Chains A and B, each alone.
Chain A
Amino acid sequence: MSDSPLLNVSSLSRIFGTQHAVSDVSFSINKGEVLGFLGPNGAGKSTTMKMISGNLAPSSGEITINGYDLLTQAKQAKAHIGYLPEQPPLYKELTVKEFLSFCAQINQIPSAKRNKAINIAIERCGLKNVARRLIGHLSKGFQQRVGIAQAIIHSPAVVILDEPTSGLDPIQIKEIRHLIREIASEHSVILSTHILPEVQTLCDRVQIINNGKLVFSDTLSGLSQHMQASSLLVTLNAPPTRVQLYTLEGVTSIESLSPTQFKLHYHPEHNPTELLLEQAVSRQWQLMELTPIQHSLEDTFMNIIQQENISMEHA
């Protein structure tokens, strides 16, 4: 195999009537990567997922999976994807094993390998104890696992998970995340979500989509740089006057949170931390606390989305 990406999406658009649900989205995913697809509800995440899983035809653009074009070589391309929609597609009147056996058959796993594939999927998704139970009788968390098992049974190159943890309780969410991390060791995963910590714990790369447009695409470390803030939280037991603090190079504004606690905003290129430390020691300000304030992922996310919305209004 060459280094060409497993999934390549170029200038994908989808128009519903007059509304551009997705416009001109391009991205690719490499082997073993976990790509997080972030965005507010209704931003076009699910529409994109539906298109790359072959459930919805794009208005324009191209999708290639493992070298096969999804539109012209649909069968070969679909053999390399596993898809779990927002609502897991399950036949609730079947047992877990019967259902997975059906999935193995429609995914054209040869009968000699079918049992092994079913057992591996059951094993990996922790379904061993419920394999003979009816899907309709399982809890939502287990149903979600069956949905994931269905998506990985034919060991596809790319696994597409659309909001896999929505509607689950915190323990189930933790378990599903653990499962996704395991799956990521063997498959490339595209994960759509609007839960931000999920991206932080699971993904290598993040894409943010808003109003159908890709507004941000970077690695997770790139995102955390974005999150680097330009303020410090300082507690000084013997604080100097505000004027003295302003003399520190780079400090742009000061908020007093209490007589001894301050929030210093500074110019991103002039970090005053070292200066502040020196001064605090030499002038005996009695430094008690010095914390760089990190933007949460939420803030960054909101920033990116809002910037985009503003620039759209101006355009």
Chain B
Amino acid sequence: MWPLAKNELYRLFLSPLAWVILALSQVILAYLFLTHIDYFIQIQAKISAIPGAPGVTELVATPLLNNAATILLLLTPLITMRLIAEERRNENLPLLLSAPLSMIQIVLGKFLGTLGFFIIFLLLLSLMPLSLAVGSHLDFGLLAAAFLGLTLLVASFTAIGLFLSSLTKQPSIAAIISFASLFLLWIIDWASQSTGIFSWLSLLNHYQPLLQGEVHTRDIAYYLIVIAVFLILTVRHLDSERLN
């Protein structure tokens, strides 16, 4: 499982895709970071008098991580599309299937390798708000909760993308379906206001409390369930492919 994860991550960085994605998303996020700081400086004088006013973490880090979630929604399908679809197209799957590995190990290896890439992404991202610690006081608890939320969110994206990549032979099809599915899960609560099953299903709905620093078991459980369900579906699908 670990060699597979390592291999997946290593091969990702051999292609220009990973570098381009990391570089461009850093540029965009840095620009957004700058605008948030700009805004904060503008209103700082006005709100400093108000007791209990939002601080720099709420006004800079929180919106930045909210933007990052949207960007990750756009990026994840580009990374996950190749996971199984490309292996299938290059007819590389027999290498893994005839090795003494269980299907669970293969799927988990691919999942963890890809998650590794996004953790690098998040580490680079975290440097931006952390740099504010030089000249200001940060709410590290809030920051940690938001990053936990973002990690869980991107892990769910990856699991969904991995499953959809296992359904097809064409990476681009996998990317399009993944993007559509993620987007749908993102906006699914727009139709029915507030409560109900749709609102519970929304990936975004469970991210917002974490972004505000509220760590609820129900939100963490939601993400863990999404990850587990899609990983199991991937294993089942690949297994059934051997049978049919």
List chain A positions with a Cβ less than 8 A from chain B. 50, 53-57, 74-76, 78-79, 81-83, 85, 87, 89-94, 102-103, 105-108, 150
A89 touching B92, Cβ below 8 Å: yes
Q: Kindly count the residue-residue contacts between A and B in the assembled complex, taking CB atoms under 8 Å apart.
A: 66
Residues from chain A with a CB closer than 8 A to the CB of B93 are 55, 89
Q: How far is the CA of A102 from the CA of B100 in the complex (A)?
A: 13
Q: B89-113 CB contact bits vs A (8 Å, 1 = yes)?
A: 0111111111111100000000000
Residues from chain A with a CB closer than 8 A to the CB of B95 are 89, 103, 106, 150
User: Is B3 interfacial (CB 8 A cutoff)?
Assistant: yes
Residues from chain B with a CB closer than 8 A to the CB of A105 are 3, 7
A78 touching B15, Cβ below 8 Å: no
A75 touching B102, Cβ below 8 Å: yes
B102 touching A74, Cβ below 8 Å: yes
A91 touching B243, Cβ below 8 Å: no
Residues from chain B with a CB closer than 8 A to the CB of A81 are 98
Q: How far is the CB of A105 from chain B (nearest CB, A)?
A: 4
Q: How far is the CA of A226 from the CA of B100 in the complex (A)?
A: 41
Main DSSP-derived SS at the B contact region? helix
Closest 8 CB pairs of A and B: A105-B3, A89-B95, A83-B98, A89-B92, A87-B91, A79-B100, A78-B100, A106-B99
User: Is B45 interfacial (CB 8 A cutoff)?
Assistant: no
Residues from chain A with a CB closer than 8 A to the CB of B236 are none
Q: How far is the CA of A78 from the CA of B11 in the complex (A)?
A: 25
Q: How far is the CA of A94 from the CA of B98 in the complex (A)?
A: 20
The residue that A75 contacts in the complex, of B3, B11, B100, with Cβ under 8 A, is B100
Can you sample 17 A-B contacts with CB below 8 Å?
Answer: A50-B94, A54-B98, A55-B97, A75-B100, A76-B100, A78-B99, A78-B101, A82-B98, A89-B94, A91-B92, A93-B11, A93-B14, A103-B95, A106-B4, A106-B95, A106-B100, A150-B95
In the complex formed, the residue of A with least CB distance to B240 is A57
Mark out the residues of chain B between 56 and 82 whose CB falls within 8 Å of any chain A CB in the assembled complex: none
A106 touching B101, Cβ below 8 Å: yes
Q: How far is the CA of A75 from the CA of B93 in the complex (A)?
A: 16
Q: How far is the CA of A57 from the CA of B94 in the complex (A)?
A: 13
Q: How far is the CB of A15 from chain B (nearest CB, A)?
A: 10
Q: B28-48 CB contact bits vs A (8 Å, 1 = yes)?
A: 000000000000000000000
User: Is B216 interfacial (CB 8 A cutoff)?
Assistant: no
Q: How far is the CB of B4 from chain A (nearest CB, A)?
A: 7
In the complex formed, the residue of A with least CB distance to B101 is A106
A56 touching B242, Cβ below 8 Å: yes
Residues from chain A with a CB closer than 8 A to the CB of B11 are 91, 93-94
Q: How far is the CB of A19 from chain B (nearest CB, A)?
A: 13
In the complex formed, the residue of B with least CB distance to A147 is B95
Q: How far is the CA of A81 from the CA of B100 in the complex (A)?
A: 9
Given A53-B98, A57-B243, A89-B93, 20 more pairs with CB closer than 8 A: A53-B94, A53-B97, A54-B97, A55-B93, A55-B94, A57-B242, A74-B100, A75-B101, A78-B98, A78-B99, A82-B98, A83-B94, A85-B91, A89-B92, A91-B92, A92-B90, A103-B99, A105-B7, A106-B99, A106-B100
